[in-house]
Structure 1
Amino acid sequence: MTGTTGGPTGDASGGAAPRRTHVVTGAGSGIGRAAADRLHARGDRLVLLARTEERAGALRTAYDGAVVEVVDLADPAALAAWTLPEGIDALDSVLHVAGVVHLGPVAELDDAAWHETMTVNLTAPVLLTRALLPALRAARGTAVFVNSSAGRVGHAGWASYAASKFGLRGFADALREEEAANGVRVSTVYPGRTATPMQESVHAQEGADYDAERWIDPATVAAAVLTCVDLPRDATMPEVVVKPGPR
């Protein structure tokens, strides 16, 4: 597989664009699923990571032809042992979308919840990106980190989640500077509240009624993510902030 350096619409000679390859986490729902839907619909190759074999089976059914691997992002040892499937040596993008959130004040932080949040939201993207760097460099690909508005401003009750997202922001910033000379682009997308299963869980933890119509459509955030990936090579989008529009 040879990586590409342009968008999905065609090459300079007017021919069809080569098939592109992407690793996506969190493709089972929300923003990750919306991004995977678009990539699959245009014929790109998908490598999807699933936490369990049950979820992997559902993804194989939803995305015919995708490579689906069972890797628990909450298990650093399993993630560190994972490698790209044989035959894939160049990667056009890795989309870090998976995440977890546990709300609560600092005085009542649960140790297990803290460790899961930091592992899934920060350690997993770090380990995965490090493992995929050779393939990203080979294709001059793009790493996209789906962060959060909580990665820009911390609020009461959001300490563990905000800490993980602030850490992810710092990692992406450092990676961006380090890999520029290798042609790897690094983008961080900061969505505000988005109508996903995670947002429904947040509302439940807050004791608030959930109305999906109030929040951003996951497909809208996915469009921003893929804009970072498909942007022509003469530019990069280091940061993208996506907020709910007026209702």
Structure 2
Amino acid sequence: MAAHLITGAGSGIGAVLTEKLAERGDELWLLARDARRAAELRERFPGAKTLAGDLGDPGKLSWAFGHQQLPVKLDSLVHVAGMVELGPVGDLTVKAWQETLNVNLVAPAELTRLLLPSLRLGKGHVLFVNSGAGLNAHADWSAYAASKHGLKALADSLRAEERTNGVRVTSVYPGRTATAMQVKVHQQEGKEYDADRWIEPESVAKAILAALDASRDAEITDITVRPGR
């Protein structure tokens, strides 16, 4: 039975991925913002274990985990959680920049650092759900794109560092996906939202599973998923 720790399991891509792994009978560890959210996740995914830690405050993750039981061995750590705040550089506040970078970049780095012993023991897999914005930046996307460009750099460095420990690293770059975050993006853009135009979360989850399930003689380093409609 493989053991996976997933962030962002409560909605969108993370929820679909968690459902698929649960159906396979894998061991699930789900990161929640707080104890209340953890209880909700356990109710939604019976048998799953939870950890509480706020990705918006990565400096406290080590303290929070020091009071909880961590998995001894992990087959994968899947970073799905993220946030987006659009706006021109001339308007974005320091708070918006800090919140975006904390959730999308600093917290994944810190979470990975804290769980590396478990991943090394399991010769596990770190998978970052990045974004098309991690490859190209457009007007009004500076903070989000900067965080995702940084996430690519984190993944590439981690891959080079951990190869000798048997830890594999993958970045997945989805285009616009029909999730609650995409609804928020459309609201910020002042555009009408039509879910049928965008990638289904299940399609991205399948790409993640393809990377996680690759045989040990192969490492899928980067996957780009684009809307096909």
**What TM-score does the superposition give when structure 1 sets the normalisation length?**
0.90
What is aligned with 2:137? 154
* Other-structure match for 1:95: 78
Structure with the greater alpha carbon radius of gyration: 1
Matched, 1:173 2:156: yes
User: What is the rounded CA distance, in whole Å, between the counterparts of 1:103 and 1:87 in structure 2?
Assistant: 35
Q: Which amino acid aligns with 1:27?
A: A
Aligned to 1:190: 173
How much does 1:127 deviate? 0.2
Find the partner of 1:108 among 65, 78, 91.
Answer: 91
What is the one-letter code of the residue matched to 1:42?
Answer: R
- Could you tell me how far 1:65 is from its partner in structure 2? 1.0
Say whether 1:135 aligns with 2:118.
yes
Unaligned runs of 5+ in 2: none
Counterpart of 2:22 in structure 1 is 40
Q: Residue by residue, what CA displacement relative to the aligned partner does 1:74-132 show, whole Å, maximum 9, x if unpaired?
A: 01232122448547311000000000000000000122111110000000000000111
Counterpart check, 1:26 vs 2:5: no
Within 5 Å, give how 1:46-85 maps onto structure 2.
Answer: 46-83=28-65
Amino acid at match of 1:77: G
Quote the offset at 1:138 in angstroms: 0.7
Aligned mate of 2:216, from 217, 222, 233: 233
Instruction: Report the TM-score, using the length of structure 2 for normalisation.
Output: 0.96
SS of the aligned residue for 1:106 comes to coil
| AA at the equivalent of 2:15 | R
**Per-residue deviation, residues 18-60 of structure 1 (Å, max 9, x unmatched):** x111100000100111110111111111111111333222211
Query: After TM superposition, what 4+ stretches of structure 1 lie above 6 angstroms from structure 2?
Result: none
Give the letter aligned to residue 201 of structure 1.
K
Using a 3 Å threshold, how does the CA distance of structure 1 residues 105 and 123 change in structure 2: closer, same or farther? same
Within 1, Cα distance between the matches of 2:69 and 2:97?
Answer: 35
What CA distance in whole angstroms lies between the structure 2 residues aligned with 1:52 and 1:83? 12
Q: Is the Cα contact below 8 Å between 2:72 and 2:118 reproduced in 1?
A: yes
Distance, in Å, in 1 between the alignment partners of 2:208 and 2:55 is 21
Task: Find the counterpart in structure 2 of residue 16 from structure 1.
Answer: none
The amino acid of 2:121's aligned partner reads A
Q: Secondary structure at the match of 2:170?
A: strand
Structure 1: 5+ residue stretches without partners: 1-18
**Do the aligned residues in 1 keep the contact of 2:5 with 2:28 (CA within 8 Å)?**
yes
Q: Which residue of 2 aligns with 1:13?
A: none
1:213: how far off?
Answer: 0.7
| Identical columns (%) | 53
Inter-partner Cα distance in structure 2 for 1:162 and 1:126: 17
Instruction: Give how far 1:139 is off.
Output: 0.8
| Counterpart Cα distance in 2 of 1:76 and 1:89 | 21
Counterpart-to-counterpart distance in 1, 2:71 and 2:106: 24
